Amino acid sequence: MENSFLTPGDISQFSELVDKLRKQNYWLPERAFELMHKAMSWWAAEVVIFRKGGKEVLLTVYPGKYFKNQWHIPGGFSIRDESLEQHLTRIAKREIGQGVKFKKVLGTYKWKANEHPIGRPLSVFCECRPTKKIVESDVMKFFPIKKLPSPMVANQKHFLQSL
């Protein structure tokens, strides 16, 4: 027997909303995206690009509203039916202006309560190789892992320092 606080009418409405989402290829408006992230964990891929034998890492200034003006490892949430390689390429093109080749998973991190403004994602840190030379700028630079910048997304900083 199903134990649910949802009425049959609630379930019917929810089914209709999911069907609408399916017809829109599961695209969510920003507010709905945030609400869904608060309700469940989604995974995110983090694009880790090393230089100088792993002693330096590429960071960018966060482009969105959540970690405004903080340095971070380029990354983002998955999209339905996207492979890891497609996901990494999409994120890299958006955040560093070029594609990448996946090398290996370095580790994972399950965000703790209140570390992320809209949820508790599972970050998958993926070492990648850029498809062309990276041109550094004021918002995209390589930093020595032993001298990471501030401010920086805290759990990403801890992850890099643990390598």
Domains in the chain with CATH codes: 7-39 (no CATH), 41-161 (3.90.79.10)
**CA proximity to 118, closest of 4, 34, 32:** 34
State pTM to two decimals: 0.83
Q: What pLDDT is stored for residue 3 in this prediction?
A: 65
Chain segment 85-101, per-residue pLDDT in tens:
999 999 999 999 999 99
Q: What pLDDT is stored for residue 55 in this prediction?
A: 96
Mean pLDDT across the chain: 88
pLDDT (mean) for 156-160: 93
> Which region holds residue 153: left if phi is over 0, alpha if psi is between -120 and 50, else beta?
beta
With a cut of 80, say whether residue 64 has pLDDT above it: no
